Amino acid sequence: MSAIEILNQLKEKGIRFTPQRQAILEFLLSTDTHPTAEEIYHHVKKRFTGMSLGTIYNTVKMLKEHGYILELTYGDMSCRFDGNPENHYHITCQECGRVFDYQYSFPELEAEKTKDRGFKVTDYRLEFYGFCSECAESGKEAGQ
C-alpha cells in the first residue's frame, strides 16, 4: 500500500496527518532496514529540524494500532519498525543487530496456525538468528 493510500484511509478515520508524520510513514515504507525509533528520528530530522523523538513514538504507535506497520520488540526492551504490516519472518544478526526479512515460507507452520485446538491464534512471530554476510565475511561470528 502506498503512503497516499494510507494517508487517505487515515483521513477518512479523522486522523490528522502533518508533513512530519507523512515523512515518517514514507521513510518506513521505503526502507527494509527495520529501523529503531531513534534511527527514524535521525533520518526525518534532516528534513524537519524541530522534530521531537516524541513525534516519532506517537506516529509509529498510531500507525501500528491501525495496522499499517509492524513493531518488532525484543527482550532488551528495544523495538524496531517494519513498513510491511503483513506477518512475515525475520532474521537478526547476532553481531551487528541488523534485522532482515526472511524470505522463506513454512507451509506446515502456516497450516498449523489455523488448526482449532481450543485456542484462537490472533498473531504470531517467528524469529531466526545468525550472522549477516558482512559479519560472517569479517569473521565476527567465530568470535574473532
Condensed to tens digits (0 to 9), the pLDDT of residues 34-44 reads: 999 999 999 99
pLDDT of res. 142: 54
Segments in 49-142 forming alpha helices (H):
53-65, 107-112, 133-137
Residue from 10, 68, 69, 6 nearest 35 by CA: 69
Could you tell me the CATH superfamily of domain 87-142? Ferric-uptake regulator, C-terminal dimerisarion domain (3.30.1490.190)
Neighbours of 63 (CB within 10 A): 23
pLDDT of res. 103: 81
Burial (CB count within 10 angstroms: exposed 0-12, middle 13-18, buried 19+), residue 23: buried
Residues of the chain scoring pLDDT < 70: 76-77, 110-111, 113-114, 116, 140-144
Q: Where are the domains of the chain?
A: 3-81, 87-142
Mean pLDDT of the chain: 87
Q: What percent of the chain has pLDDT over 70?
A: 90
CATH class, range 3-81:
mainly alpha
pTM for this entry: 0.80
